Amino acid sequence: MLTRENLLVTERYLDSLTVRLRGYAGFAVPGELAEEIVLQVDVGLPVDVERLAAELSENLGSPSRIVRYSITETNWGASGCVAELILEVPVALAALPVLWGMISSRILRHGEPQVLTPEEQRDLARRCLAESLWVGVDAIKIVGFEPVGDGHRVELETPLGTWEAETDSSGVTRMHRRSPWSDGGFR
């Protein structure tokens, strides 16, 4: 029987895994963030997070990249273990939707996307954007929220400009900075 005690040293039992693919217009600093795609997956199995990060790094194919991961294990009242992978690339060298296709197929082998209510989708977009822009959640105002297809579109006002986020029923949140000449639609 598989237990936490007999896992390989490099594997950890994960309750959930969050993957974030960020695309930057220039350097990997908040003011240059152009796009971000986020997926949260319920896992419930052992995962070698370090190996997964290395495989995804190879998939990026770009010599300019930052790959980070963190594992948070909690044993305080309730217990659990979650991991987050953050992949950062210049948008000039990579088409994020193409990269996302490769990345998400690998991630979905480890579990099922978390199903979120519309309000949870909206709050996830706000929280992720706050973390990516290095600002407090209170600094981001939700100025629009509407159903679109099988998900929702969220318009967010930040200290660094207006952003749009689209969520879908497969658990994916796609965010991009709105350009001044944008018609309000999602790219």
Average confidence (pLDDT) over 143-153: 90
Q: How confident is the model at residue 142 (pLDDT cuts 50, 70, 90)?
A: very high
Average confidence (pLDDT) over 59-73: 84
Average confidence (pLDDT) over 28-53: 90
Q: Strand, helix or coil at 64?
A: coil
Average pLDDT, the chain: 84
CATH class given for the domain over 116-179: alpha beta
Better pLDDT: 82 or 172: 82
DSSP-derived secondary structure letter, 26? S
Closest CA to 52 of 79, 81, 86, 28: 86
Domain boundaries, the chain: 1-114, 116-179
Q: Strand, helix or coil at 124?
A: helix
pTM, two decimal places: 0.82
Does the structure show a pLDDT above 90 at 62?
Answer: no
